[in-house]
Structure 1
Amino acid sequence: MFIDGFILGGIGLVMPALTADLHLSATWQGLIGASALIGIFFGGPIGGFLADKIGRKPMFIVDLAIFLVGSAAQFFVAEPWQLFAIRLLMGMAIGADYAIGWPLLVEFSPARLRGKLMAFQEVAWYVGYLLSYAVGYYLSTAIHADWRIILGMSTVPSLIVFLLRLGSPESPRWLISKGKIDEALAIAKAHMDEADVQDLANEKSEKPNFGKLFSPQYRNSTIFVCMYWVCNVTPYFAIATFAPVVLENLGIQDGLTGALLLNGVVVAGSLAAMFLIERVGRRKLSIPPMWIAAVALVIIGLFSHFSPTIILICFIAFSFFNAVSTALTGVYPGEVFPTEIRGAGVGFAAAFSRIGAAAGTFILPMSVDSLGVGTTMLIAAAICVLGAVISQYLAPETKGLSLSDTSAPLAKSALK
């Protein structure tokens, strides 16, 4: 998650230099800005299918090896299509990792800490995004480093994480789903709490079935995680990727510094969610923050030329509360699906979310040009409202429940 945020954080920062050097049209700017997100759209379902089919452990290594190769290739880009293709491949690896890493972590996590551990994934994402932005900002302003160096920096954390993953155990729940009971229990007893070892008795040996995501049993779960995720990330990616441009259009002179501030705020918001999730529960962190984020964007939309100070305060409020609710996108997808379709469910939800994220990233510069910043922010607010309404009706409370209970059909577990 750290390196996912790291590759996405740098692209908006280097876009001006990248545009000048490669003579990018507005279309190429949008495509390159959205390339990693488009890759996640394809990589999520593919990685999820393979994780459910052949195991979490082997895919955990392979997908990051692909990402590492792509990171290094950014140093040698000479044409727009090359950068688009490389970041598309890196995005596919990241999308696969959502569907591999999250199920692996959730299947090892104790019920009492599962929410905090999964929410920490979002903290890591935002820290990666912030660090990429901060280091890139320094390199671009202080020493005027080439944009290839700034983008290629992702090679360093990618190599570190790749080495750390070597030797990871296979998920006991996945092994049981394949009928490998003895091997699963041996790993579980070495790495899991006793209560979670006992919960393994509820696991069944079942074959992966992608169509089960849309069955009457799990249709509501699929709808909820997909819509919740897309409504959180669409406004964020659109605004964060082009934050310097948006802030300068709103009258804030140093857009890069303002964007760096906003990235720091989202780290604080995700940390708050991580520390609160096992105390106040999932629903209280998923629904009210979306309404607050929507109100902040409405104020920006209606009074975009009123006061730069008020606009900056509203952007800070949006960034903080959007980060709080977005932390739940790292929690719910891994909890609400059973083992045999957990990878597929997380992968499909990640892919679906990137439709909105990529569309927002691609459309925002054109929307600002044709409709203005104010109207664009009102559209983003409407997306937040849609997410809040859907969450009000479908978001389950899974605090403290075993993984077997959280993955029960949503009709049984929602609103408890």
Structure 2
Amino acid sequence: MAWGTLINCFYIPGAFIGGLLSDCIGRRRTMALGFFLQAILGFILGGALGPIQTKLPLFIVLYGVFLTLGEVGPGATIVLTASESFPTALRGHGVGLAAAWSKAGAAIGTQVFKPILASWGGDELHGTQAVFLIGSGFAVLGALLAWFVLEDSDKFLDHGDQDWKNYLIANGYTNIEWGIQDGSPMVDNKAIE
């Protein structure tokens, strides 16, 4: 229980570092950086797991840093990037859809661990190495997707609202009333006089 508590403490600084980096270098770069650094450390852990496991404190620290990097990148930015990618009127649905996909991915990921470990015929060391190496490969994929697919968003959450309204109007929807009170546009929940 003590080792588990110690390992879980490594998540905490990752969230703070990721939050600070998100504002300094942007969400896309923070996510890509976290994924990429986690992949490098995962490949190191997967490749040299035998010698690393013989020194428990070394393994605890390296695995803890591995977890920290997961929070620096995707852990601290995934909800931000999901919410900033949708206009206000669709944000709840978009974030819910993104959360559903991530939960499905997590469920699938946990279910493939046992078959990967079992495919090594009881050789737990090589099975665990395979899990680290495969997971690190997915982290590289995540870094590439974050870098090349995600857009850098501006700091205003309503950046896509007018584009969405224009799209609706162009497709025949004319009674669009959100953001309007008594016929006046809203800014900070107060009608412009």
Scaled by the length of structure 2, the TM-score of the pair is 0.71
Given that 1:282 and 1:399 are in contact with CA atoms closer than 8 Å, whether structure 2 keeps it comes out as no
Given that 1:290 and 1:387 are in contact with CA atoms closer than 8 Å, whether structure 2 keeps it comes out as yes
> Aligned pair 1:366/2:112, yes or no?
no
Given that 1:297 and 1:314 are in contact with CA atoms closer than 8 Å, whether structure 2 keeps it comes out as no
Instruction: Report 1:88-107 matches (<5 A).
Output: none
Q: Which residue of 1 aligns with 2:24?
A: 279
- 1:307/1:290 CA distance change after superposition, 3 Å: same
> Aligned pair 1:342/2:91, yes or no?
yes
Counterpart residue identity of residue 292, structure 1: L
> Aligned pair 1:378/2:133, yes or no?
yes
Given that 2:13 and 2:68 are in contact with CA atoms closer than 8 Å, whether structure 1 keeps it comes out as yes
Counterpart residue identity of residue 354, structure 1: K
Aligned pair count?
Answer: 153
**Distance in 2 of aligned mates of 1:322 and 1:290:** 7
Given that 2:28 and 2:152 are in contact with CA atoms closer than 8 Å, whether structure 1 keeps it comes out as yes
Instruction: Report 1:220-239 matches (<5 A).
Output: none
Q: Which residue of 2 aligns with 1:216?
A: none
**Distance in 2 of aligned mates of 1:386 and 1:277:** 20
Q: Which residue of 2 aligns with 1:395?
A: 150
Counterpart residue identity of residue 362, structure 1: Q
Given that 1:285 and 1:324 are in contact with CA atoms closer than 8 Å, whether structure 2 keeps it comes out as yes
**Distance in 2 of aligned mates of 1:377 and 1:302:** 8
Over alpha carbons, which structure has the higher Rg? 2
- 1:317/1:289 CA distance change after superposition, 3 Å: same
Q: Which residue of 2 aligns with 1:353?
A: 102
Q: Give ranges in structure 1 of 5+ residues lacking alignment.
A: 1-255, 410-416
**Distance in 1 of aligned mates of 2:160 and 2:51:** 47
**Distance in 2 of aligned mates of 1:265 and 1:388:** 21
Q: Which of 47, 56, 71 is residue 323 of structure 1 equivalent to?
A: 71
Q: Give ranges in structure 2 of 5+ residues lacking alignment.
A: 121-126, 165-193
- 1:287/1:353 CA distance change after superposition, 3 Å: same
**Distance in 1 of aligned mates of 2:67 and 2:32:** 15
Scaled by the length of structure 1, the TM-score of the pair is 0.35
| TM-superposed deviation, 1:392 | 1.2
Q: Which residue of 2 aligns with 1:258?
A: 3
Residue identity (%): 26
Q: CA RMSD in A?
A: 2.0
**Distance in 1 of aligned mates of 2:146 and 2:85:** 14
